[in-house]
Structure 1
Amino acid sequence: MSALVIRPATRDDVAAIVALLADDPLGAAREEPDDPGTYDAAYDRVVADPGQHLVVAERDGSVVGTLQLSVIPGLSRRGATRSIIEGVRVARDERGAGLGTELITWAVEESRRLGATLVQLTSDASRTDARRFYERLGFVASHVGFKLPLGD
């Protein structure tokens, strides 16, 4: 396999990122790849926030993975900074080859470099393979998560 590069996402990557987000049953129900304006506006908000790090994994000029790392300073845990890993996706033909591990390892190392003392992530309860993957990387399912949709 050729070399993998993890780099900040650009506007030109947005369509590929959305395609990755939509490439499973949960994502297919949530995402609308045919509505690029929505994603372009979201991209603008993400890159305008210095605490957000949207990255892609690129191999041979193609986007094959993505994640978003959010770095959040706080008062709890004695003023700890934490990071949250979200939107982790790996292209179908890259799954099982270690790319997910490389992405998460990058996110943990970047979190440490940015001063975070805790890394968090969530995964939909139906994603049992993802849960096993994160546990294999040392994450502990220590909390129960809740969501409240606020409209469309």
Structure 2
Amino acid sequence: MGDLEIRHATADDLPAIVAMLADDPLGAQRESPDDLTPYLAALERLTADPNQHLVVAVREDRVIGTLQLTVVPGLSHKGATRALVEAVRIHADERGSGLGTVLIQWAIDTSRQLGCAMVQLTSDKSRTDAHRFYARLGFNASHEGFKLKL
């Protein structure tokens, strides 16, 4: 991946991050790239929480990927700490380049370094390409996920 840098996101990165979040049929329905106000507030909360790692992949000063890694302490699995991967997005120009693999490997490596016993993620049922991608990386579709919007 050459000159790729993976680093914590800053407020300057938000326009690119939100644009990637909105750049698919699901994201287009739920994201608002024209109003960054709620995203700035969210970034402040994430930055203040040491268990949150919102990162960007940057090449030549251009944000080309992002993900959020959350460290979750728990009691189950003998008190295991787990990592939760969310909001994985790759810029349209970079899809198929291997960047997604690099970002997920970063998440796995970071999770190990932070003492996590497992990495878990969810993916919308309609994202069948993503499901095949995660399976290739060794993730097992072991659970059925549920959400309740509040």
Band of TM-score, shorter chain: over 0.9
Question: Does the 8 Å CA contact 1:2/1:60 hold for their aligned counterparts?
Answer: no
Match of 1:149 in 2: 149
Which residue number in structure 2 is paired with residue 127 of structure 1?
127
Which residue identity does 2:118 align to in structure 1? L
Secondary structure at the counterpart of residue 144 of structure 1: coil
1:145 is matched by which residue type in structure 2?
G
Match of 1:126, SS? coil
CA distance in 2, matches of 1:99, 1:139: 17
CA distance in 1: counterparts of 2:34 and 2:76, whole angstroms: 41
Return the alpha-carbon distance in structure 2 between the equivalents of residues 119 and 2 of structure 1.
26
Residue 6 of structure 2 is matched in structure 1 by 6
Give, in angstroms, the shift of residue 15 of structure 1: 1.1
Q: CA RMSD for the aligned pairs?
A: 0.8
Alpha-carbon separation, structure 1, partners of 2:15 and 2:48: 19
Partner of 1:62: 62
The AA in structure 2 aligned to 1:38 is P
- Which blocks of at least 5 consecutive residues in structure 2 are unaligned? none
Show the 5 A alignment for 1:80-91: 80-91=80-91
Cα distance in 1 for partners of 2:2, 2:76 equals 43
| Residue in 1 that maps onto 2:50 | 50
The alpha-carbon deviation at position 14 of structure 1 amounts to: 1.0
Listed one character per residue, the Cα deviations across residues 39-95 of structure 1 (whole Å, up to 9, x for unaligned) are: 100110111110000000001100000000000111111110000000000000100
Query: Using the alignment, how far apart are the partners of 1:43 and 1:124 within structure 2?
Result: 23
Give 2:79's aligned residue: 79
- State how 1:106-117 maps to structure 2 within 5 Å: 106-117=106-117
**How far is 1:2 from its partner?**
4.6
Instruction: Give the TM-score of the pair, scaled to structure 1.
Output: 0.97
TM-score (normalizing by structure 2): 0.98
Unaligned runs of 5+ in 1: none
How many residue pairs get aligned? The number is 150
Q: How many Å apart are 1:36 and its aligned residue? A: 1.0
The aligned residue for residue 40 of structure 2 is 40
Distance in 2 between residues matched to 1:36 and 1:54, nearest whole Å: 16
Structure 1 runs of 4+ off > 3 angstroms?
none
